[in-house]
Structure 1
Amino acid sequence: MQLRKLKKIIFRGWVVIALLIGSFSLCSGQDIYDVSYKVGPVFKIVSPKIRIDSEYVRIPEEGNEIGYQFGLFTKIRVNNVYFQPELLIATAQNRLDFLNYNGVNGFNPSADFEFTTLEIPVSIGVNIGNLRLDTGPGFSLMLSGNEYFLNEKINVTQEYNQVTILWRLGLGVDINNLLLDFKYEFGLSKTEESLARLIERELVPRQSQLVFSIAYSILRD
């Protein structure tokens, strides 16, 4: 069921992008606007920062693991303003230590979490020469989540919000077909990471992340 929903989202997203490219190309033909577009693959490295204020859970130094994202981007520019939607598959890992677990003093077992998500960021920005400044929302759809705790693997996909909303602030540069970006992302909607099953309390971590991306335009106008 989730795979079917994912296919529908991807198909509808690219239909909208194709319509936008077509409409902007018509405008360009009328010499009203200076319009161009770029399409190609993109790869991102994500450095997350998670904070939890709790005496029951702690994030070890290695708890915020590096994540990766890859997919496709489309950049549509009208004069100096551009619109850039993306479709990405993302993977991430986190680790949490549970302090004095089950009331046993000094027993602090670790739980590892692995997540796969569909990311749909949308940037709206302005070109200043080859430099770019942008902002915009990002939508994260949970595809799968697994927890590894006390030698047991548990699927925790349903314990998380299926959709999380992020906001992004970014700086980028265009070098011919190459697009380099550095972004700061932070959550607008709280991810209900229900850890009640482990510590009998609800915890809502706060997360932000730094993202470096490199994209290459294989189609451009």
Structure 2
Amino acid sequence: MAALIRYTLKRLLGAIPTMLVIITLSFFLLRAAPGGPFDMQRAVPPQVKLNLERMYHLNLPLWQQYLDYLGSILRGDFGPSFVYRGTSVNSMIAQGFPVDLAIGVPALLGALLLGIPLGIVAALRQNSRWDYIPMALAMIGISIPTFVAAPVLILLFAVWLHWLPAGGWSATHPAVLILPALALGLPLIAYAARVMRGSMIEVLNSPTSAPRAPRACPNAR
């Protein structure tokens, strides 16, 4: 468990510079693209367009827009929506967060309750079928993207077997959460199993875990 926590923290810390690069590239690529956020809508008078750009601070220099954007992200403010007028991105995230939470928590619990035991069994039964089969399944779970696994699960459990609903959302019918949580949790289970197996093997092969030879004791007379 400690190894899994260290691995998770390491990945989270390593994601910070990656996120900064992604945010920077996305910002400048969108600004470099032809057109603007108001060009896809109906034609507006130049003065109205100028007022809109001033309202959304698009008339500022590019470097100042970038710094303001980074500052807003650090404050947790993702700005207004260009598509839905009068709506902030934060409110849109808050609206969908309960659904994401209802799907993400079971997926994470499944990764902990299934991935960790599979990794432990694979490490204790190394180079046996109890090692090869879980690790082969883990490799498949990592290799298959979620957008491919989800339709396959729907086809299998909803269309062919009719065990679970294929879609929809209802707070009173938790069965609709099973397929989305399963599709989201498959790669998490695979990662948890592989990390736990590697950590267990490292611990088992360390000198401190090697069994000490019993000391010979003289027979008591």
Q: Which bracket does the TM-score occupy, shorter chain normalised?
A: under 0.3
Larger relative contact order (C-alpha < 8 A, sep ≥ 6)? 2
Decide which structure has greater strand share.
1
Q: TM-score, normalised by structure 2?
A: 0.25
Decide which structure has greater helix share.
2
Rg bigger for which structure? 2
